[in-house]
Every structure is written in C-alpha cells, then in structure tokens.
Amino acid sequence: MKVAVFSAKRYDETHLRDFNREHDHELTFFEPRLNVKTAPLASGHDAVCCFVNDILDAPVLELLAQMGVRLVAMRCAGFNNVDLVAAGRLGIEVVRVPEYSPHAVAEHAVALILDLNRNIHRAFNRVREHDYSLDGLLGFDLYGKTVGVVGTGKIGATFARLMVGFGCRVLAYDPRVNPDVTDMGAEYVSLERLWAESDVISLHCPLMEATHHIVDDAAIAQMKRGVMLINTSRGALVDTRAVIDGLKRGDIGYLGLDVYEEEADLFFEDFSNHVLQDDVFARLLTFPNVIITGHQAFFTREALDAIASVTLTNISAFEQGDPTRRYTVTL
Ligand code: NAI
C-alpha cells in the first residue's frame, strides 16, 4: 500500500524502513504533523501513518477520505487525537499498536520518581561545578511508601509490579479490576482513598472525557501534603494551572511529567534558539522539584522495533482483508 507517514523523525524512518523489508509497502515520510494544512500531502496514498500529536479530527478525516485514504495506522497506543465517529462515518479504518513495551513507559515513570526523590538532576549539575554539598538533596526511602496507580492496564500493571518490587504498598484505581494487579498484592480503592493515602501517585489511564483533568484543584485538595505526582500518560489528565498552584503552596512536593497539556506545539522539536511562548510551561520549568521530559517514555529500542513491526503488520493485514492480524480501534 502507499502510506504517507506524518510527524516522521529519522528514527521512525530507520525503524519503519527496516521492518518494511518484510512487507514492501511504499512509504513516504513527511516531517510535518498532520493537520488541515498538511493533509494534502497524503494525496495519492491509501493510508496515513500517524503519531500522538497529529490531528485527526473530522475536517482532516474528511480531506483524507476525499483523497481516497482508507486507513489510519496509528504508530502508538493512544488514539485520543482521532475522531472515531467521523472515521466510522467516512469508512476510514483506524488501527493502532495497543502494546509495544509497557516496560518502556513504566520504567520511565520509575526513573522520574527516583530522579525527583534523590534530586539526581540537581546533583548532576552540582558535581559538574565541583559542589559536593548535600544541602537540599535529602530524599526519602521509597520502601514502605504508599504508591497510587490510576489506571491498571498494561502499563499501570507493569508499573505497579515495579513498585511492589521496591517494597511499596500499592493502591490502585481503575473501573476494571485487573486480577494480575490484585495477585501482586495491590489493593483496589476508590479514587478518593487513593488521593488521600498515597505518597506517590502515577497516572496510567487513557485520556477521555471522564479522565480529562482527573487531577484538578479538588483532587489536589484531597492529596497528602507534599505528594509526588507522576504523569507519563497524557497531558490533559492534569490541570496544569491547578498543579502549579499546588506546587506554589507546597501541597504538591514533586512533579514528574513526560506529557503536557499543550505539548503539541512544543515536544519532539528543537526550539533551543526560540523564545518560549508558553507562560504556563515556562512557570513549570522554574520549580526545582519539577522534572519534565518531552514525551520520551516510549522511546526505547525495543519499543521502536515493536511499533514498526506491529504498524506494518496492521497495514498488511488491512490490505489482505485479514481482521485477525490487525488491531482495529472500535468505538
Ligand atoms: P491500557 O488500555 O492497557 O490501560 C488503560 C487502563 O486505564 C485500563 O485498565 C482502563 O480500564 C483504565 N481506565 C479507563 N478509564 C479509567 C478511569 N476513568 N480511571 C482510571 N482508569 C481508567 O493502556 P496502556 O497501554 O496501559 O496505556 C495507558 C496510557 O499510557 C495510554 O492511554 C497512553 O495515553 C499512555 N502512553 C504514554 C506513552 C508515553 O510515551 N508517554 C506511551 C504509551 C502510552
């Protein structure tokens, strides 16, 4: 099939080309994100291959359908940026990579926790300046602490297991109980109890209407003072302004983000020669107890291999009309 690959970085191209030797699709790589302006680049292609910040709303999907695009192949797990109702109406199928490496994201969440707790980011700079003082670097033992996991699907369950390994008490919240998580000794509780009892809270649920700003002023008010909040899932799970207020008051003691509400205009690009225009993001960067990574939790060799392999298999299975070998997103 002829596939237009949007938001294509060099690493996407390398991995997709490598795995495409087994599939032989015609791949065209476009650096821009997909949106109404860039959609015409898909002309002459049967499918588009997209990532987390591409825009696949109704107007874009309508343009794609007019150009004869029949398949949207997401090379990620999340699909909150796709209007599935419009896709269904237009006869465009949406496929995704439901699982590529839950370990990649879960381990990144742990990296943020340890970095924040032990002030590794500050220690790194101090030692480079030959400053070996320890003032301000005091951490806490993770062992014995209570960790709240919101969303216990593939990534949340993997993260919960890592926390059990650290000797933590794990509380979980998910409308769907995952028996693997109860088997490892975690306890499902109400969201209110999770907020109230956790020393560390990590978000692993998808972004949907029900989870939009799941961490807002009201949620923060129920949390332990000095709580550590980690979000490696989707930016809009967190009301950033509420979190900034919480940080200023000291109610939130540590914040680790791999995702940000308004990341679409920032992440995955080099803006080091530009003036930052996002004042909310700029404020976040001023806190010594905030670490932000630019949506890199998924970014391991193993994950990129799996993403390329499953994406191309999805496309081949669509071409061959084989529903058993592709991961179609349904409403
Ligand atoms: P999954 O589908 O296996 O698990 C999601 C879980 O969230 C399910 O158990 C579901 O029941 C639960 N859930 C649904 N509504 C909920 C609610 N209102 N409150 C709490 N839990 C709720 O998904 P997976 O693979 O574990 O991924 C989770 C999220 O991680 C994705 O939706 C995506 O947004 C994010 N992600 C981030 C990456 C990164 O690089 N930072 C990479 C991959 C995924």
Percent of the chain with pLDDT over 70: 100
pLDDT over threshold 90, residue 176: yes
Mean pLDDT (whole number) for 299-304: 96
Q: Tell whether ligand 1 has an atom less than 6 A from the beta carbon of residue 179.
A: no
Q: Which atom of ligand 1 has the smallest separation from the CA of 155? A: 26
- Residue 287: inside a domain: yes
Q: Tell whether ligand 1 has an atom less than 6 A from the beta carbon of residue 209.
A: no
Q: Tell whether ligand 1 has an atom less than 6 A from the beta carbon of residue 156.
A: yes
Range of the domain at 84: 2-100+300-325
- Residue 190: inside a domain: yes
Nearest CA owner, ligand 1 atom 1: 153
CA 74 vs CA 7, 144, 175, 322: distances in Å: 11, 39, 25, 18
pLDDT over threshold 90, residue 195: yes
- Residue 282: inside a domain: yes
- Residue 57: inside a domain: yes
Over residues 4-47, the pLDDT tens digits come to: 999 999 999 999 999 999 999 999 999 999 999 999 999 999 99
Same domain, residue pair 42 and 135: no
Percent of the chain with pLDDT over 90: 98
Centroid of ligand 1 to alpha carbon of 54 (angstroms): 19
> In sequence order, what are the beta bridge partners of 148?
171, 201
Same domain, residue pair 112 and 132: yes
The pLDDT, as a whole number, for residue 246 is 98
State the CATH number of the domain containing residue 148.
3.40.50.720
Number of domains present in the structure of the chain:
2
Same domain, residue pair 214 and 240: yes
All residues at 6 or more sequence positions from 92 whose CB lies less than 8 Å from its CB, including other chains: 61, 64, 65, 69, 70, 71, 72
Same domain, residue pair 209 and 310: no
- Residue 10: inside a domain: yes
Same domain, residue pair 130 and 223: yes
Same domain, residue pair 282 and 213: yes
Nearest CA owner, ligand 1 atom 36: 233
pLDDT, mean over the chain:
97
Q: Tell whether ligand 1 has an atom less than 6 A from the beta carbon of residue 148.
A: no
CA distance 19 to 320: 18
- Residue 41: inside a domain: yes
Q: Which atom of ligand 1 has the smallest separation from the CA of 210? A: 18
- Residue 330: inside a domain: no
pLDDT over threshold 90, residue 331: no
Centroid of ligand 1 to alpha carbon of 67 (angstroms): 32
Radius of gyration of the chain (CA): 21
- Residue 241: inside a domain: yes
Over residues 119-139, the pLDDT tens digits come to: 999 999 999 999 999 999 999
The pLDDT, as a whole number, for residue 183 is 98
CA 285 vs CA 24, 122, 305: distances in Å: 44, 13, 32
Q: Which atom of ligand 1 has the smallest separation from the CA of 233? A: 35
Q: Tell whether ligand 1 has an atom less than 6 A from the beta carbon of residue 233.
A: yes
Q: Which atom of ligand 1 has the smallest separation from the CA of 173? A: 20
What are the catalytic residues?
234, 263, 295
Beta strand extents in the chain (DSSP E only): 2-5, 26-29, 47-50, 71-74, 93-95, 146-150, 169-173, 187-188, 200-203, 227-231, 252-257, 290-292
Count Cβ atoms below 10 Å from residue 153 Cβ, excluding itself: 18
Nearest CA owner, ligand 1 atom 21: 151
Same domain, residue pair 287 and 212: yes
Same domain, residue pair 14 and 110: no
Same domain, residue pair 126 and 76: no
Residue carrying structure tokens 């699907």: 153
Q: Tell whether ligand 1 has an atom less than 6 A from the beta carbon of residue 232.
A: yes
Same domain, residue pair 223 and 272: yes
Same domain, residue pair 194 and 174: yes
What's the helix, strand, coil split of the chain in %, to 5?
A: 40, 15, 45
Q: Tell whether ligand 1 has an atom less than 6 A from the beta carbon of residue 153.
A: yes
Same domain, residue pair 56 and 20: yes
pLDDT over threshold 90, residue 146: yes
Mean pLDDT (whole number) for 195-199: 98
